[in-house]
Amino acid sequence: METDSLERTAHLPQITEARNPGMELDMNWVRSVQANTSAIERRAATLPGRRSVKKAYQAAWLARAITCIDLTTLSGDDTARRVERLCAKARQPVRADLLAALGLDPITVGAVCVYHDMIAPAVAALEGSGIPVAAVSTGFPAGLSPFHLRLAEIGESVAAGAAEIDIVISRRHVLEGNWQALYDEMRAFRAACGPAHVKAILATGELGTLRNVARASLVCMMAGADFIKTSTGKESVNATLPVSLVMIRAIRAYHEATGYRVGYKPAGGISKAKDALVYLSLMKEELGDRWLRPDLFRFGASSLLGDIERQLEHHVTGAYSAGYRHAMG
Q: What is the pLDDT of residues 148-157, one digit of tens each?
A: 999 999 999 9
User: Does 2 fall in a domain?
Assistant: no
User: Does 248 fall in a domain?
Assistant: yes
- Other CB atoms closer than 10 Å to residue 27's CB: what's the count? 12
User: Does 18 fall in a domain?
Assistant: no
User: Does 5 fall in a domain?
Assistant: no
CATH number of the domain where residue 223 is located:
3.20.20.70
**Pick the catalytic residue: 70, 89, 166, 307?**
166
Digit-coded pLDDT (tens) for 232-251: 988 888 999 999 999 999 99
Q: What is the mean pLDDT of the chain?
A: 92
Res. 122: pLDDT tops 80: yes
Q: How many domains does the chain have?
A: 1
**Pick the catalytic residue: 226, 265, 295, 307?**
265
User: Does 247 fall in a domain?
Assistant: yes
Domain encompassing residue 310: 27-326
The helix, strand and coil proportions of the chain, stated in percent and rounded to the nearest 5, come to: 50, 10, 40
166 is catalytic: yes
Digit-coded pLDDT (tens) for 202-214: 999 999 999 999 9
What is the rounded average pLDDT of the residues 81-94?
A: 96
Angle 155-156-158 from CA coordinates, rounded to 5°: 65
265 is catalytic: yes
Could you tell me which residue, 291 or 52, shows the higher pLDDT? 291
User: Does 94 fall in a domain?
Assistant: yes
272 is catalytic: no
Specify the pLDDT at position 50.
65
**Pick the catalytic residue: 89, 199, 226, 229?**
229
Strand partners, 198: 165
